[in-house]
Every structure is written in C-alpha cells, then in structure tokens.
Structure 1
Amino acid sequence: NASASPFVIAIKNGGVKVLPSIFNAVILISVISVGNSAVYGCSRTIQSLGAQGLGPEILSYVDRKGRPLAGLVMAAIFGLLCFLSAYKDQGEVFGWLLSVSGLATIFLWFNIGLCHVRFRMAMKLQGRSTDELVFTAVSGIWGSIYSMCLLLLVLGVQFWVALFPIGSNKPKAKNFFQNYLGSIVILVFYVTHKLYYRNWRIYVPLAEIDLDSGRRETDMEMIRAEMEEEKQINRELPIYKRLWKYWC
C-alpha cells in the first residue's frame, strides 16, 4: 500500500497537494521494476537447473526467441502468492513465507565461501597457479574462512533463539519453525536430490575437481601484461590513492 509510505504521509501532512500522487507513482514503478527483475532472474535460474539435470527436463525449454517459457510460467505461478497480501491474516502468511527464505542468504554465502576455499585448495593440489586467474580475492582463502565461521555463529545463535525465544525458558515448536524453517527446506531438498540421483558422495575430492570446464577463453599473456601495466601506474600514485584503489 503506497499510501501507507511514511514519505507519502509526511508529504500529506506538509500540505503538498500533487507530490503524494507523484511519489505513489514512483513507488509503484519501483515495485514493478523489482518484480520484473525478480521474474527475469528466477526464470533463468529455473531454466539453468533444468538444463543441468538438477530439475525436471521440461524446465530447460527455451523457445526460438531465447525465452525460457517453462521457467517464466513457474516463476509466474509462484508470483501469484503475492495475492495472499489481501488475506485477513497476511502477517501470519508473510511470516511463514519469510521463514522459508530467511536463512537462504546465510546458507548461500556459506557455500560461496566453501566453494572458494575448496577451489583454491584444488588449484594448489593440482599444481595450478593463481596467475591463471583474472581476479583473486584480496584476503585470499582466509577471508572466506572468516566469513564461514561468522555465518556458522549466526546460524548457531539463530537456532538457539528459534528454539528458546527471548523471554521464554521453554522451547516453542511454532517459533522454531518460523525462524528456522529455511534450513529444514534446504535439508529436505538435499536429501531428496541424493535419493533421486543415488549420488551418495558428500563431496568431490580435490584431485577430481574440474577447474577448466566453463572457463572463458582468455589471452592470459595479454591480461598479465595489462595487470603489470596497471601495477606500474599504481606505484606512481600517492599513497592515499593506492590505499583507496586497493580497498575500494
């Protein structure tokens, strides 16, 4: 409800006549833009899952104009959940929907950090050098390890708070599922995938990790020359500019 925006309320209280309608239009366009980008990203992700065999094959369908129609349809179907905002207990519904996705970002970044660490370990084991990489993390693998530890701490604290809500000494099942349902959903998907594909390996050994598939063909000699030239330019910059470019 755009009219409930604090900005719109403040403008109305200020006695400005036209601006609230303009602001409502801006909010509406922004919401449509977010929805459009969400459908775009979601449909392509669904198509990619189907193409990689991580979902039903029909989801990989792309028409002659390059549109992932099956992914668009599925994204649109789930998009219909937005009409639940008109339900009388919309707060309760929103809480449960949020519980499904609430921890997804934490798990996502934990896995990104884990993949980075194992990628670098695989490179070292297979005798590959980071000189082959166009970009390397400033903090190396230690930044990823630090973030993983921090995220595990967040998950642990969230588990405790979900099990024993603040101000209560007794565990509450409803509160637990509302705050930790995302982890259960991820676990169910993981176990289902293992059972369906009968792939019982927990992880891929470092020696078997494929470091080349999907890489773009790049002229590493030219890239190294450009990087060396950039380093030379940076050496001539004042210290504050070098620090700025290094960290920012």
Structure 2
Amino acid sequence: MGADSLPQGDKAKPVSTTPAEMGAFNASASTSREDLEAGNAELHRGLSSFHLQFIAIGGTIGTGLFLGSGEALASAGPVGTLLAFIFIGSIVYSVMSALGEMATYMPVAGSFTAYASRFLDSSLGFSMGWIYWFSWSITFALELVAAGLIIQFWNADLSVGIFIAVFWVVFTALNFMPIRWFGEFEMWFSSIKVVTIVGFIIFAICIDAGAGKNGYLGFSAWVEPGPFAEYMVEGSVGKFVGFWSVLVTAGFSFQGAELVGVGAGEVENPEKNVPSAIRWTFWGIYALFVATIFFIGVLVPYNTEDLLLGSTDAAASPLVIAANLAGVPVLPHIINAVLLTAVLSAANSNVYSGSRILVALAKEKHAPEVLTYTNKHGVPYAAVATTSAIGLLAFLNLSASGEKVFGWLLNITAIAGFISWSCILICHLRFQKILAHRGISRKTDLVYAARFQPYLTWFGLFFCILIILTNGFTVFMEWDVSDFFAAYISLILFVVLFMGHKLLVDRKWSLIKIDDVQLIRDHAGEKN
C-alpha cells in the first residue's frame, strides 16, 4: 500500500536459494514462458495491472455494498455501520499486505491455495482451496438472484427465474473468452459502478447541503434517530450487538479484494504489476466503500420504513431510498440500472475467480487433473464449466422460502471469506519464517515488502478468527437452528474437509519442513 517499501533498481528481485528455485527463476528470463502446470495446461499472461485491479473491483463491489448495506444500516445505525466497515477495512489491509508480498515473490495461478499447500500443509491447501471455491461459486448464484430481484424493481410480476437463466448463460459464455478479452470487458463493466459511486457521492453532497426537497440535512440523521441503532437488546449492549452483527455484512462486501492474488498467475510482468494492482485495488475499494457508507448514513435515517430488515428487494437499497427521500423521481431508476450492472459485473468475476482456484487445486493434486486443461486461448474450460454449474443453485430462490435462501447464501459466503483471509495470513507468517531461515531479507531482496510486519498480519489473523467464532452470537440470544447452521456451516465444512483429507489422503500430522519448502513460481506465456 502507500506505506509499503518498494525498493528501486534491478537488484530488487526475488532471490532463490536452492537449485530447484534457481532453475525456475532462470526460466522466467524468457519473454514467452510456459506454465509448470499439471497436464498440458497453459494459462496466458494476458492481463495488465488495470485488468487485475478491475477484476478485483468487479468481484468486490456488488450485492454486499448496494443491497446488504441497507440491512446493516437498520441493524447498527449510521455510525455503527461506518465503524464496522472501517474496522473490516483495516483487516483487509492486513490481508492485502500479506498477499501482495507473497504474490509478487511467487505469482502463481490461484496463489494462496498453492501457498498453503507448499508452505504449510497439504490438507490446509486442500480445505482452504475448496472452501474458497465453494464461496465464490455460491456467490455467483447469489449475484444471479440479486440481478433478478433488481429487475423486479421495475416489474414485480416477472419471474426471477427468467433472469437467472439468461444471465447464467451470458456470464458462462463470457468466461470462455480469451483472458485479455475478458479483462477488457470486466474493466469497462466495473468502471460503470465506480463512476456511479462517485456520482452518488456528489449527489449526496448536494442533497445534504440542501438541494433536495427536505432542504439542508447536515447530520440530522445522526441526531434523530441517532448514530447507533439498538439491535435485539436495549442500551449500550444493544448498540454493540448491532455493530458486531454488521461485521459479517461488511466482510462480505469487502470479499473479492484478494482476487488480485488469484489473477497473479495471468498478469504480465508480475513483479511490477502485482504491487501496483494491490495498492490501487485496496485504497480504491476502501475509499469508495467508506465514502458510500458515510453518505448513506447521512441521507437515510436508520429507522426509515423502506429499510426492511432482511429484505433483498432492490427497493430496499439505501442508494435508491436516498434518491426517493430527496424527491428525485427519475434517479431511483438510474441507480437501479447501475445496481444491475454492478451485480452482473460481480457475477462475472465470481466465475473467473472460482475457476482459477480450481486450476490451483488441480495443480496441487487436490482436484482432478482435467480441471487444469485449457484451450488454445489459455482458458481452463473444465474449471469454468464446473464453477458456472454451481450458479444454477440460484434457482432455489424460486421456492417459497427464497428470501431465507438469500440470507443463508450471504452468511455462508461471508464466513468462508473470513476463513480464506485467515489462511492467507497464516501463510504469510510462515512465508516470513521461511525467508528468515534462508537468509533472504524482506526489505532488500523483495520487490514488494509490507511494513508493520509481523504485527499487522497477527492483528488481521486475530480478528478474522474472532469474527469467525462469534459471527453467530445472536443465534444464542434468540436460538434458531437454521440461523445457527447458516452462521457456522462454512466453518464446519472447512473442518470436515481438513480432517477428511488428513485422515484419508495426507496422513501426515506435521507441517512441511522449512528446508523442504520450494519457492518455485509457475510461469505462463506472456500473450494469449
């Protein structure tokens, strides 16, 4: 990030200390490099730094910010919600710092799944990779449902199933495009929502200053009904409960920033472009999120009737509500149209990220080898098809309990994201230990060296684990079996995957010895 050390000059290159590593780095000298992947698979380095940034932005800015923030505002109030997003942003900063250091040194496809298997334990890489893939494939289904609900804003009589089917076909097809074409499409698609958020911020400033029908607003919504909402219980405890309950929503909203690491294996000149993408992605997403949440809290009182707790209808989006409250009749339709493009862009990134994680799993022998096979354009078609197929779970929303299904999916994917972040941070602690053991200086020998280490990584890891363990605390206040499983099913699945692989496949209960760790990168062709 801005505070990270970026040494100048050609000497700031990854240093290898074993013959195997030296051979790998010598191979990188060629401008036309081939992947060291399973089978005959070959991913292409067809992405630029801008492509990588916008894929991450596309995967991050979606349902959580535009729809989930309404429920968050009703639960915690404007200041409680703002603090929750700022706090989660600090955790994301620690994750991005850790990932940036590892992904620049070892830019491999699917990055952190490979790091877990190579630095720590094969079973950890297996369980981490599959839970992360599960998260993104389910998120794809979630975004398809959200797209249908957004369209119902204009015509409630239209079936959500129609749009789930149409968009599923469209985004499956887009992910079969050559990676450079995909990157260009995602860049322009994601630009729409960036422009929209900036436009909303300008709109919010004008309305707050008195341009709307209600005149000057200032911070009136922070005074009445107040800065914090009481959730489930009264008093200060209720306000804290509201704040803590919103952390999961905020985590879901930020999930996707780490996609910069997933795409590191397909970016041109990773030593230069990955650090740049890491910096711009985090600070760009963080600024947009915090500014949006701040102005939503200024314009929309948390007790507004349209903020229906648990609703997934686009009419409950705080951006649309803000426009309605300001008395601008056409603006909600414009915002709703942009919400649609935002959600669809996120869905597009979901298939990409999920498919690349499958490639990484297959390369580490954690999935069938066929998932690594690519066509002549470098597209892992089997992995794309498998990930996309999970999106068909979106049709569950057509059942009578569709709204509950939506809530389940959101909770499941959010906690899976925290689990993945925890594993990334654990890998980074191990990575630092490996470098120190081999006499590699992080400050002088790495292209990208994050500051505040290892303290920043420990900070992020502590709170990720704390949120994972306490995210369902409201269930114990008002017991509900369904909500309990929604809160902890990802953690249960992760433990089952880890223990299953450890007992049936790995059968080794010790970490990989530091001397046996191979810091070898995968190398992909520069062009597709």
Matched, 1:200 2:508: yes
Question: Separation in 2 of the partners of 1:80 and 1:25?
Answer: 23
Shift of 1:84: 2.2
Structure possessing the higher relative contact order (Cα contacts under 8 Å, 6 or more residues apart): 2
RMSD value over aligned CA atoms? Answer: 2.7
Question: Separation in 2 of the partners of 1:158 and 1:9?
Answer: 28
Question: Separation in 2 of the partners of 1:71 and 1:41?
Answer: 10
The equivalent residue for 2:399 is 87
Q: 1:215 to 1:55 in 2, by over 3 A?
A: closer
The equivalent residue for 2:421 is 109
Q: 1:196 to 1:99 in 2, by over 3 A?
A: farther
Q: 1:6 to 1:132 in 2, by over 3 A?
A: closer
Shift of 1:40: 1.6
Which of the pair has more CA radius of gyration? Answer: 1
Question: Separation in 1 of the partners of 2:422 and 2:371?
Answer: 27
The equivalent residue for 1:139 is 452
Output one character per residue of 1:1-22: Cα deviation in whole Å (capped at 9) or x when no partner: 22224544665673635x4443
Secondary structure of the structure 1 residue equivalent to 2:435: helix
Shift of 1:99: 4.2
Q: Which amino acid in 2 is paired with 1:136?
A: A
Matched, 1:62 2:374: yes
Q: Which amino acid in 2 is paired with 1:40?
A: Y
| 1:143-162 correspondence runs (5 A) | 143-158=456-471, 161=473
Q: 1:95 to 1:25 in 2, by over 3 A?
A: closer
The equivalent residue for 1:97 is 409
Secondary structure of the structure 2 residue equivalent to 1:54: coil
Question: Separation in 1 of the partners of 2:400 and 2:439?
Answer: 61
Matched, 1:213 2:517: no
The equivalent residue for 1:52 is 364
Shift of 1:78: 0.8
The equivalent residue for 2:477 is 166
8 Å Cα contact 1:99-1:181 kept in structure 2: no
The equivalent residue for 1:186 is 494
Question: Separation in 2 of the partners of 1:98 and 1:122?
Answer: 36
Output one character per residue of 1:204-228: Cα deviation in whole Å (capped at 9) or x when no partner: 1223222x31188xxxxxxxxxxxx
Unaligned runs of 5+ in 2: 1-148, 154-314, 524-528
Shift of 1:203: 1.5
* Larger mean Cα displacement after TM superposition, 194-203 or 119-128: 194-203
Output one character per residue of 1:96-139: Cα deviation in whole Å (capped at 9) or x when no partner: 33343232222222222211111111222223322221122211
8 Å Cα contact 1:100-1:185 kept in structure 2: no
Q: 1:120 to 1:59 in 2, by over 3 A?
A: same
Pairs aligned (count) = 209
Q: Which amino acid in 1 is paired with 2:477?
A: I
Question: TM-score of the superposition, structure 1-length normalised?
Answer: 0.72
Question: TM-score of the superposition, structure 2-length normalised?
Answer: 0.36
Q: 1:36 to 1:179 in 2, by over 3 A?
A: same
Q: 1:106 to 1:20 in 2, by over 3 A?
A: closer
